[in-house]
Structure 1
Amino acid sequence: MATETKKSGGIVETIKTVVYALLIAGVFRTLFFQPFWIPSGSMKDTLLIGDFLFVNKMAYGYSYASCPSVIIPQIGLDIDAQDICGMFDGDNSRFLGGEPQRGDVVVFRHPSTGRDFIKRLIGLPGDKVQVTNGVVFINGEEAPQEPAGTFEEVQSPQGPQRLRPRCENGPVGEGGACLKSRFIETLPGGSQHAILNIASQGSDNTPVYTVPEGHYFFMGDNRDNSSDSRVPSLANGVGFVPYENLVGRADRVMFSSAGRSMLFFWTWRGDRFFKAIE
């Protein structure tokens, strides 16, 4: 009898330990850092498919979007931040709010779908943003682009979704060199980052967008392969993003996997451990 009681007590203690650990992890994720796995190539070559990073939630303070979403399609689990903290949604404000800076790489909730996106902050509240022949103009000031060589990757399926890259050098066969022109863009204020070009397309020329107060304008660094603020959210784009939808700032890649899973350690990219995000 004593042995059974001891075993029962051990099981209870184990369950309590697991519960406490999950609670601590939940609080840590909600208040400080959120893990983020790069699923697409819209931010190449700043971020690659398979990059794993932590989002700094303290950078901009807290809103309903700071609550974690838990989405595991394989088992039908879909718990959204709105489900947990939706009562704080609607006033477009933040607790301990900080102002994002132009050029920051930011994770935010899509205004329509609620899914987490990661893009670069281009336009601040009140800015007038326009893209002409692939060049960004902010309040009439050109963001100059300096040629910076070529970005090369292998034409093959990438990441869990097995996405294939688009290439500037036309259709490329399996295993071939997929090339894109690379430029260094300088935003007003001096922030610099790399961008890629694939082809001339409609998103290279836009009307003038006036960013509303309390909202932000985002673009992907892989300019011709990004769904972003150049297209309204109701038309399968992103549109203007409310302040309260910001989740946090991405500062550093922790590690990166070129394979289908981050658990495939033999596919980890050795040159991206703790790489700063510029």
Structure 2
Amino acid sequence: MANASSTESTTETKPKNEWLDLGSFLLKLVLIVFVIRSFIFSPFSIPSESMMPRLLIGDYLFITKWNYGYSRHSLPWSLPLLPNMHWSDPSRGDVVVFKAPGHGDQDWIKRVIGLPGDTIQMRGGQLILNGQPVPKEKIADFVLPYSPNYDANNCPPQHEDTGAEGAPICRIAMFRETLPGGKSYEVLDVDTRPADDTMLFTVPEDHVFLMGDNRDNSADSRFSRAEGGISFVPMENVEGKAVFTFWSTDGGASWLLPWTWFTAARWDRIGEGF
């Protein structure tokens, strides 16, 4: 009787390298975040009072990146990997995030007031656009309760007041401006200051003229870079358009106390659009 010998084949499986898998996952995640942040949406937090009353310190918002085009400033740290691809000017009244020229390429946020060829001037606190006064209507005062993000040190002494419940507040005169085309927004007028009367500016080609809504507390295109302002801002510096507020806090939260994340939230501001 013949013995049949059979050959048993075994399949060896390579041991999984968990660190390699983790590294691959993290690399893909970084690439996805990089693409989204550079070309689609990007978050931005409000660090100053220059855009009150629409934006408060502690507001967090999303900007869309595709509206006007792309440039190296669309990328994190302004990496020089993209040519300047500009296909649309902002509209007057758009709120935009941009690289502030003369300020170490910090990200700032202001409102577009002037486009190439426009003339702009302030006379007695009145905005003059292309020789025509922009309608400015007095409305109810802007009232802001004190909080860790905004206390008596921020409020000009002449505007300190007491609210209906006896709590200290800051009360500032507020107006509604309406640009040609119908775009309207609120601005603050703290008092009479030198920037209420300016020279006549003419916006050069491929630039925009930007202003903060808190007119007496904004370093913007009314001021040269030597004066701490931004002068005219190149179109390629504009990174994106503000679209809505996704979170807002009065600054009273502590990372170590999770319940304060909710008590410090300004729920009525979340979801506000532009």
Normalised to the residue count of structure 1, the TM-score between the two structures is 0.84
Counterpart mapping for 1:92-241 below 5 A: 94-95=84-85, 97-113=87-103, 114-158=105-149, 164-167=153-156, 169-170=158-159, 176-241=168-233
Distance 1:171 1:274, change over 3 A: closer
260-269 or 235-244: bigger deviation = 260-269
Q: State the 4+ residue runs in structure 1 displaced beyond 6 angstroms.
A: none
Question: What's the counterpart of residue 9 of structure 1?
Answer: 17
**CA contact under 8 A between 1:157 and 1:164: conserved in structure 2?**
no
| Contact 1:169–1:178 (CA under 8 A) maintained in structure 2 | no
Secondary structure at 2:185's aligned position in 1?
A: strand
Paired residues of 2:148 and 2:251 also in contact (CA < 8 A): no
- Residues 148, 250 of structure 2: 8 Å contact kept: no
Match of 2:28 in 1: 20
Compute the displacement of 1:260 (Å). Answer: 5.7
Q: Deviations over 1:215-267 (max 9, x none)?
A: 11010001111110000123210100001111010011112111166963431
| 1:226 alignment partner AA | S
CA–CA distance in 2 between the matches of 1:21 and 1:261?
29
Is the CA contact 1:108–1:245 (under 8 Å) kept in the aligned structure 2? Answer: yes
Secondary structure of 1:22's aligned partner: helix
More helix by share: 1
Q: CA deviation at 1:63?
A: 0.8
Letter in 1 for 2:233: V
Question: Counterpart of 1:29 in 2: which secondary structure?
Answer: helix
AA at the equivalent of 1:231: F
1:149 aligned partner, one-letter code: A
Gaps of 5+ in 1: 69-79, 89-93
Aligned residues: 252
Secondary structure at the counterpart of residue 223 of structure 1: coil
Deviation at 1:171, TM superposition (A): 5.5
- Which shifted more, 162-171 or 128-137? 162-171
1:259 matched to 2:267? The reply is: no
> 1:96, 1:140 → 2: CA distance?
28
CA distances 1:136-188 after superposition (whole Å, capped 9, x unpaired): 001111111111101111245417xx894233734569x62111011110112
Identity %: 38
Distance 2:120 2:177 in 1: 15
Q: Is the 8 A contact 2:71 2:82 kept in 1?
A: no
**Partners of 1:195 and 1:240 in 2: how far apart?**
21
User: Max radius of gyration: which structure?
Assistant: 2
Match of 1:273 in 2: 270
Task: Please report the RMSD computed on the Cα atoms of aligned residues, expressed in angstroms.
Answer: 2.3
- Distance in 2 of aligned mates of 1:151 and 1:195: 9
Name the residue aligned to 1:75: none
* 8 A contact 2:159–2:172 mirrored in 1: no
Mapped partners of 1:132, 1:262: distance in 2: 45
- TM-score of the pair, normalised by structure 2: 0.85
The C-alpha deviation readout for 1:180-230, integer Å capped at 9, x for no partner, is: 011110112221001111111011110101111111101000111111000
Instruction: Report SS of the residue matched to 1:275.
Output: coil
Assess if the C-alpha contact under 8 Å between 2:189 and 2:216 holds in 1. Answer: yes
How far apart in 2 are the matches of 1:213 and 1:10? 55
Gaps of 5+ in 2: 1-13, 256-260
Secondary structure, aligned partner of 2:69: coil
Residues 261 and 24 (structure 1 numbering): CA distance in 2 closer, same or farther, change over 3 Å? Answer: farther
- Asked whether 1:64 is paired with 2:72, we answer yes
